[in-house]
């Protein structure tokens, strides 16, 4: 009998499709209520940190340089009060084969897919991760399909997304480009079912385990080069995997550095809106992903996301689009390093944060990404102008996402703005409580305290439990 491939029928089969495509039965981690065994899920990969380091070494991934940005630090000290202005370092992940940290995330997945005999791999991504999966598949001899949410209904795609598609194709992947909307998940499920490929999701334990090596390297390189741990590690935050994996790696290195999330402020723009899709000038590292995925991680393409950033972040800050474009040029002009926008989101935040710390402190920006014609700031700014966005010099605090991009008139105007993390914690807790039809159990309360890096008292106060 012919299988029913209507939207409703395919979505109804999603659990079994994902189970076959990942090879993990997520039910084994569930309690039947809010709580689930997160650490057991992470351990279910079967790979230790040492295993992952060895796997990545086989793909020529990792051990990227930790570079001191001496000229950037000098600028920060000119902007800081006497005795302040931390040293800024950057982990140059653009040195990896695919040009970003996401190849760490892909390696474990593709190694496992090859080991388990999957005929190929598939993932849904706007680009950097797609290039990472394509790179690892090429080295492993596996076919690869990348599904992109690329165009609005006019058939117009952002230069950055188109650039990433070219990168994926250059690495041998088949790229399927879709318009904005719910068809993305539907098409991914259809293709996974039809091909039998491995779901190299951004949100499996395999992917997050791969990023742990990044945090582990940051801690050990600081010790080797500086004789001390970093005081703060700044992570660009979107879906949460970057921060989660990096923080877990720092913990495994017994490093207690403050973990700071940084996102581009796109407040007011809806990421799934056809009309607003091209009124943003960044495709990742922004609040359109960072906020919803932090406050409800399980909106991802697997039943339980391994990326759970509120468990690990100590602070969450935002910067505006103009500040990231400006910082991209600063990095090129002051340090001779031209990199893409994702890592420069963290760097823009780090310039502000470093001014709060004494001059013997160390701030590490934990990633850079490659750049290219479509990802270059000039291409994105030209595209913004074509979409009616006003681009000018001024104070970035006056920027309105979707209407204007204000490049700082002076570096002193770079300013990271704190997000109310307790508000985010309460959002996650109340959403979790709404998913069950009974009072949260003691196990649920303990789980939610871990999930939000808070306390059981905070959870009970949020839920008005005596």
Mean pLDDT by 10 residues, the chain (466 residues): 85 91 94 97 96 97 98 98 98 96 96 97 89 97 94 86 92 92 86 96 95 98 98 96 98 98 91 80 86 94 94 98 96 96 94 98 96 88 93 96 95 97 98 96 98 98 93
Tell me, what's the pLDDT at 280? Answer: 85
> Which pLDDT score, from 0 to 100, does residue 300 have?
86
What's the CA gap between 36 and 435, in Å, rounded? 13
Selecting from 3.90.550.10, 3.90.1170.50, 3.40.1380.10, 3.40.50.1100, what CATH number does the domain 55-96+208-418 have? Answer: 3.40.50.1100
Residue 278 confidence (pLDDT): 85
Listed residue (300, 272, 312) closest to 425, CA to CA: 312
Write out the residue limits of the CATH 3.40.50.1100 domain(s) in the chain. Answer: 55-96+208-418
- Alpha-carbon separation of residue 95 from 60, 101, 262, 340, 429 (angstroms): 10, 9, 22, 13, 39
Q: What is the reported pLDDT for 1?
A: 61
| CA atoms lying within 13 Å on the CB side of residue 177 | 17
**Among the listed residues 268, 259, 341, 257, the one whose alpha carbon sits nearest the alpha carbon of residue 308:** 259
Please tell me the pTM assigned to this model.
0.96
Q: What's the start-to-end Cα distance of the chain, in Å?
A: 56
Token readout for 421 is 């993390």
């Amino acid at each position: 009998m012919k299988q029913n491939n209507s939207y409703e029928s395919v979505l109804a089969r999603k659990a079994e499709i994902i189970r076959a495509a990942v090879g993990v039965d997520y039910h084994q981690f569930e309690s039947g209520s809010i709580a689930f065994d997160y650490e057991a899920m992470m351990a279910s990969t079967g790979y230790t940190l040492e295993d992952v380091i060895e796997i990545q070494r086989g793909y020529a991934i990792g051990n990227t340089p930790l570079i001191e940005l001496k000229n950037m630090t000098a600028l920060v000290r000119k902007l800081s009060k006497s005795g302040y202005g931390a040293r800024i370092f950057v982990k140059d992940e653009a040195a990896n084969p695919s040009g970003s940290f996401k190849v760490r995330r892909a390696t474990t997945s593709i190694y496992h897919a090859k080991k388990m005999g999957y005929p190929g791999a598939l993932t849904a991504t706007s680009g950097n991760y797609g290039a990472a999966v394509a790179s690892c598949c090429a080295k492993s001899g596996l076919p690869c399909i990348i599904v992109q949410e690329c165009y609005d209904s006019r058939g117009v795609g952002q230069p950055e997304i188109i650039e990433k598609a070219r990168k994926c194709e250059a690495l041998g992947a088949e790229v399927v480009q879709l318009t904005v909307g719910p068809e993305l998940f539907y098409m991914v499920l259809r293709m996974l079912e039809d091909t039998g490929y491995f779901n190299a999701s951004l949100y499996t334990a395999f992917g997050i385990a791969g990023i742990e090596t990044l945090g582990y390297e940051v801690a050990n390189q600081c010790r080797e080069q500086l004789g001390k741990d970093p005081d703060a590690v700044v992570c660009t935050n979107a879906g949460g995997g970057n921060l989660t994996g990096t923080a877990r790696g720092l913990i495994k290195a017994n490093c207690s550095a403050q973990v700071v999330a940084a996102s581009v402020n796109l407040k007011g723009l809806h990421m799934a809106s056809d009309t607003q899709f091209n009124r943003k000038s960044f495709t990742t590292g922004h609040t359109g992903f960072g906020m919803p995925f932090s406050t409800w991680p399980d909106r991802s393409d697997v039943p339980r996301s391994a990326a759970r950033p509120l468990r690990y972040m100590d602070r969450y800050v935002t910067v505006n689009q103009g500040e990231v474009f400006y910082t991209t040029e600063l990095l090129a002009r002051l340090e001779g390093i031209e990199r893409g926008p994702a890592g420069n989101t963290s760097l823009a935040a780090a310039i502000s944060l470093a001014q709060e710390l004494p001059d013997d402190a160390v701030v590490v920006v934990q990633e850079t990404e490659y750049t290219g014609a479509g990802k270059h700031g000039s291409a994105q700014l030209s595209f913004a102008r074509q979409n009616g966005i006003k681009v000018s010099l001024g104070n970035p605090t006056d920027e309105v996402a979707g209407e204007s991009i204000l490049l700082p008139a002076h570096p002193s105007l770079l300013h990271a703005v704190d997000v109310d993390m307790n508000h985010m914690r309460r959002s996650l807790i109340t959403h979790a409580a709404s998913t069950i039809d009974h009072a949260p159990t003691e196990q649920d309360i303990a789980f939610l305290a871990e999930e939000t890096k808070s306390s059981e008292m905070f959870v009970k106060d949020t839920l008005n439990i005596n």
